């Protein structure tokens, strides 16, 4: 079997490969700044390479560089800060938030993901809580 890659119109898979490319950019930023275990770093790198390859193969982006995203803490209120990912395509995602509690402590929230329906989003939140507290 032979696969020929061309500059033809994107097919129905284009949106999926675009999402993988965006995820690979985020994984690249996280892998570069986070204190990850060897296993977690490998998972991040796996996502970077898969998204980069698929992005190039399906014409999602037209540059040789797979970088350009950033993570930044932004003040969102008097005692509230958001961790915002900014991608080179213009996407901005809030990934976490910290805010002051009345007793002087600080609470931290982490976005567990975006899902298509309520039950999947709830399952994602439950998984993240279990993972973070284990």
Q: What is the pLDDT of residue 67?
A: 60
Q: What confidence tier does 5 reach under pLDDT thresholds 50, 70, 90?
A: low
3-state SS assignment for residue 10: coil
Distance CA 11, CA 44 (A): 27
CB distance 26 to 69 below 8 Å:
yes
Decide: residue 33, CB within 10 A, 0-12 exposed, 13-18 middle, 19+ buried: exposed
pLDDT of 74-122, one tens digit each? 999 999 999 998 887 777 888 889 999 999 999 998 887 777 889 988 8
Task: Tell me, rounded to whole angstroms, the distance of Cα 46 from its chain centroid.
Answer: 13
Range of the domain at 109: 70-133
Q: What is the pLDDT of residue 134?
A: 63
pTM given for the model: 0.61
Domain co-membership, 47 together with 96? no
Q: What is the pLDDT of residue 78?
A: 93
Domain co-membership, 74 together with 126? yes
Residue 118 within a domain: yes
CB distance 84 to 92 below 8 Å:
yes
pLDDT of 20-63, one tens digit each? 878 788 888 877 777 778 888 888 788 778 887 777 777 777 66
Check whether 130 has a pLDDT greater than 70: yes
Q: Which of 40, 8, 54, 45 is nearest to 26 (CA)?
A: 45
Q: What is the pLDDT of residue 7?
A: 56
Check whether 2 has a pLDDT greater than 60: no
Distance CA 119, CA 125 (A): 10
Q: What is the pLDDT of residue 63?
A: 60
Domain co-membership, 18 together with 52? yes
Q: What is the pLDDT of residue 97?
A: 92
Domain co-membership, 94 together with 118? yes
Domain co-membership, 129 together with 83? yes
| Residues in CB range of 12: below 8 A, 6 or more apart | none
Residue 40 within a domain: yes
**Could you give the number of structural domains in the chain?**
2
Domain co-membership, 86 together with 127? yes
């Amino acid at each position: 079997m032979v696969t020929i890659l061309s500059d033809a119109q994107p097919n129905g898979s284009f949106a999926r490969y675009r999402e993988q490319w965006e995820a690979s950019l985020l994984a690249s930023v996280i892998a570069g700044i986070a204190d990850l275990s060897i296993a977690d770093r490998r998972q991040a790198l796996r996502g970077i390479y898969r998204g980069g390859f698929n992005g190039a193969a399906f014409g999602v982006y037209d540059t040789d560089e797979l970088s350009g995203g950033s993570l930044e803490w932004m003040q969102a209120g008097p005692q509230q800060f958001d961790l915002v990912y900014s991608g080179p395509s213009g996407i901005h995602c809030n990934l976490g938030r910290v805010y002051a509690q009345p007793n002087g402590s600080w609470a931290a929230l982490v976005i567990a993901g975006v899902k298509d329906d309520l039950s999947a989003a709830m399952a994602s939140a439950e998984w993240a809580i279990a993972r973070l507290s284990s």
